[in-house]
Amino acid sequence: MSDLSSRPDDAAVGLTIPHESASLHVTGAALYTDDLVGRTRDVLHAHPVQAPHAHARVTGLRVDAAHDVPGVVRVLTADDVPGVNDAGVKGDEPLFPSEVMYHGHAVCWVLAETLEAARLGAAAVEVDYDPLPAVIGLREAIAAGSFQGGQPTVERGNVEDGLAGSARVFSGEVEMSGQEHFYLETMASLAQVDEAGQVFLQSSTQHPSETQEIVAHVLGLSNHQVTVQCLRMGGGFGGKEMQPHGYAAIAALGATLTGRPVRLRLNRTQDLTMTGKRHGFHAQWRVGFDADGRLQALDATLTSDGGWSLDLSEPVLARALCHVDNAYWIPHVRVNGRIARTHKTSQTAFRGFGGPQGMLVIEDILGRCAPLLGIDADELRRRNFYVDGQSTPYGQPVRHPERVATAWQRVLESGDVARRRAEIADFNRRHPHTKRGLALTPVKFGISFNFTAFNQAGALVHVYKDGSVLINHGGTEMGQGLHTKMLQVAATTLGVPLERVRLAPTRTDKVPNTSATAASSGADLNGGAVKHASEQIKARLAEVAAGRELAWEDLVREAYFSRVQLWAAGFYRTEGIEWDSSVMRGHPFKYFAYGVAATEVEVDGFTGAYRTRRVDIVHDVGDSLSPLVDLGQIEGGFVQGAGWLTLEDLRWDESDGPSRGRLATQAASTYKLPAFSEMPEEFNVSLLERAHEDGAVYGSKAVGEPPLMLAFSVREALRQAAAAFGPAGTSVDLASPATPEAVYWAVEDARAGRTDGRVLEGLPGRVPDQPGADAHALHPRSEQVARSVPAEVRS
Phi-psi region of 729 (alpha: psi -120 to 50; beta: other; left: phi over 0): left
Write the pLDDT tens digit of every residue in 440-470.
999 999 999 989 999 999 999 999 999 999 9
Query: Would the pLDDT of 770 be above 70?
Result: no
Residue 762 pLDDT = 79
Once rounded to an integer, what is the mean pLDDT over residues 153-178?
98
Pairing of strands 585-587, 591-604: unpaired
pLDDT at residue 792, as a whole number: 29
With a pLDDT cut of 70, the percent of the chain lying above it is: 96
Q: Is the dihedral of CA 217, 218, 220, 222 positive or negative?
A: negative
Is residue 754 very low, low, confident or very high in pLDDT (cuts 50, 70, 90)? confident
Residue-level pLDDT at 123: 98
* Chain segment 626-677, per-residue pLDDT in tens: 999 999 999 999 999 999 999 999 999 999 999 999 999 999 999 999 999 8
pLDDT in tens, 569-595: 999 999 999 999 999 999 999 999 999
Q: Is the pLDDT of residue 218 over 90?
A: yes
* Buried b / exposed e along 523-557 (16+ C-beta atoms within 10 A): bbbbbbbbbbbbbbbbebbeebeeeeeeebeebbe
Distance between CA atoms of 71 and 37, rounded to whole angstroms? 18
Average pLDDT of the segment spanning 529-556:
97
Q: How many helical (H) and strand (E) elements, i.e. helices and strands, does the chain have?
A: 19, 28
Cα–Cα distance measured from residue 426 to residue 433, given in angstroms and rounded to the nearest whole number? 14
Alpha-helical runs (H) found in 148-199: 159-164
Question: What is the pLDDT averaged over residues 171-194?
Answer: 98
What's the one-letter identity of residue 208? P
Report the run of H or E that residue 716 belongs to, with start and end: helix 712-723
Mean pLDDT of 473-495: 98
Terminal alpha carbon distance of the chain = 53
* Res 764: pLDDT: 60
Helix H or strand E segment including 50: strand 44-50
Dihedral of CA 743/756/373/286: which sign? negative
**DSSP state, 289?**
E
Q: What's the pLDDT at 776?
A: 33
The residues assigned a catalytic role are: 705
pLDDT value at residue 527: 98
- The number of residues making up the chain comes to 795
Q: Which residue has the higher pLDDT, 599 or 450?
A: 599
pLDDT recorded at residue 76: 98
755 — pLDDT class (breaks 50, 70, 90): confident
Write down the pLDDT at residue 757.
Answer: 67
Residue 121 phi/psi, 5-degree rounding, is -65, -40
| Residue 761 CB neighbour total at 10 angstroms | 18
Query: What mean pLDDT is predicted for residues 135-159?
Result: 98
Q: Would strands 226-230 and 506-507 be described as parallel, antiparallel, or unpaired? A: antiparallel
State residue 435 phi and psi, 5-degree precision.
Answer: -130, 150
The residue type at 126: E
Angle between helices 402-414 and 417-430 (to 10 degrees): 60
pTM: 0.95
